[in-house]
Structure 1
Amino acid sequence: MAEEDVPQARPFLLVAANVVTWRRCGVGGQELRPGTKAFKGGAKVYVADVYWGPGGERLTVAGRERHTGRWIIIDTATRHLHGFRPKLVHTPRVLELLRASGREGGLGAEYAADVAATLERYARQYRAGIAPNRPHPDRCLCHACLTGESGELTVAEAGG
């Protein structure tokens, strides 16, 4: 079978994000860990599904696994991601995985932009909720400290 005879999967629009480089965890948020158990810090992932019911706390994402580099689909916490944006997915393996898991299809451009903005707001809010009244460790490398992100939402972000 010639290469041009293989049907090409059509790209579609999804929300992409990056895994935070460092995250706070442990008692009082005093421990720092790089990335997540499944993804390296800074890895690009594609949001395949959002659980809106509990407030968007968990997402199903497709990305390259930390140790093997294989593409995987896994549930992760919204607070471990940042930089949500609409992105056209061309990667054949991601398109295959999404099709196999029944999550094929795309988003409209306006809807994808709205979802990205909402998820960014949720992620910031959830990161701020990790040990909110505890000081950060010395020379903290968490996402909020590295980017200067405050946990408080502005009136425009809160929707008011």
Structure 2
Amino acid sequence: MGYLEFCSNCGEKNQFGEKDGNKRYFCSQCSTIHYENPKPTATLICMHQNQLLLVKRAVDPGKGMWGLPGGFIERGETPEMGAQRELLEETNLQGSVSNLLGTCSHFNTVFGDILLMGMEVQVEDWSTLKAGDDAEEAILFPFDELPKLAFPCHEKIVNMYRQKSLS
């Protein structure tokens, strides 16, 4: 049970059972329901001359595999702010969100439920591109020659962009 063993509101031992139509932890003493909400991420599509920016992951999950730049949105950040921070941390680039492409959810054994927000980001100056933070490499790939991506949701977000660009 770990961090949900005791109520974060009153400190009493939590119960586990049916509450609000789902099985979840709750406190029978103060009636606090402990929701295990998905963790939001900014997942970025950055195009340059018909090439897509990908990063080779330096950490698990997916270490050594290619993926879209991005990561968890921090407390106090808007999704756009999180996208800009993650872009800078992983690629040393600055950009601005131009479009929300869509979302994708999946369960990750390391972090639990994750909600990916696919965002198209415009980068003005590509001359500063270099891998940083938790990326081994940051490279532009021809859009029609992409490698297999680390996560199915990354593939789905690429397909969302592909559909948008065809319409």
Work out which of the two has the higher radius of gyration on C-alpha atoms and give 1 or 2: 2
Whether the TM-score (by the shorter chain) exceeds 0.5 is: no
TM-score (norm. length: structure 2): 0.28
Q: Between Structure 1 and Structure 2, which shows a larger proportion of helix residues? A: 1
